[in-house]
A and B are shown apart, each in its own frame.
Chain A
């Protein structure tokens, strides 16, 4: 299993541009999450999904959109990029309770470092 895979690893955007951060997992996890981590700070939840077709806002959703058309994929869309969106973005997934012995462990991707200039 590859686990949680994010692309790209690095990206520089100009103010006002848009982009999609890709996230895919091959563990058949129902729950998926997007977090951002600002330098020297903790992780803030942007959006999450409990299954295909279902998404919901987290702590800091403004400026972002998500979709979940399949169990495997959970892309994060940035519209009209702003300098305040400069951050490291982590995608994570976790199984539904009962799928595994550690039924709530979240597995993280390697992150996407985004700079908006």
Chain B
């Protein structure tokens, strides 16, 4: 089955700097890659996603890139703000009968004021 690895497990950046989180996946049939943000004690919420027919997608300060050949995708957050502090999860799924998401282990991002 699918396996998703995520790095780093923790990331501390100064406010205003950029943050990059990387994930690799094992199943070449996977074609949907969302990123979720989870604040302490809250539910995961989708912040951005990308499909395998696209190499890059951007939404204001966040962007995701996908390299299908290498089977990895990354989340980029620019001009980080203290409210970006949270745990970020990548995930992968494929258009079989279930769209079930397999998650990475998470990255705890701390943005220092």
Interface status of B97 (Cβ within 8 A of chain A): yes
Stretch of A12-20, A40-48, A66-74 on the interface side: A40-48
Count of A-B residue pairs with CB < 8 Å:
59
Tell me whether B101 and A59 are in contact (CB under 8 A). Answer: no
Interface status of B61 (Cβ within 8 A of chain A): no
Determine the chain B residues whose CB is within 8 A of the CB of A44 once the complex forms.
103
We find that the number of chain A residues with CB closer than 8 angstroms to chain B is: 26
- Quick one: CB contact mask for B78-106 with A, threshold 8 Å, 1 for yes? 00000000000100010101111111111
We find that the number of chain B residues with CB closer than 8 angstroms to chain A is: 23
User: CA–CA, A45 to B1, complex, Å?
Assistant: 12
Tell me whether B104 and A104 are in contact (CB under 8 A). Answer: no
Tell me whether B93 and A104 are in contact (CB under 8 A). Answer: yes
- Quick one: CB contact mask for A25-53 with B, threshold 8 Å, 1 for yes? 00000010101000011111100101000
Determine the chain B residues whose CB is within 8 A of the CB of A45 once the complex forms.
100-102
User: CA–CA, A31 to B95, complex, Å?
Assistant: 12
User: CA–CA, A52 to B88, complex, Å?
Assistant: 31
Interface status of B29 (Cβ within 8 A of chain A): no
Contact of B44 among A48, A56, A58, A90 (CB under 8 A): A90
Task: List chain B positions with a Cβ less than 8 A from chain A.
Answer: 1, 6, 32, 34, 42-46, 49, 89, 93, 95, 97-106
**What are 26 A-B contacts with C-beta separation under 8 Å?**
A31-B99, A31-B100, A33-B100, A40-B106, A41-B106, A42-B6, A42-B103, A42-B106, A43-B44, A43-B89, A43-B103, A44-B103, A45-B101, A56-B98, A90-B43, A90-B44, A92-B101, A102-B49, A104-B32, A104-B34, A104-B93, A104-B99, A106-B99, A106-B101, A108-B44, A110-B43
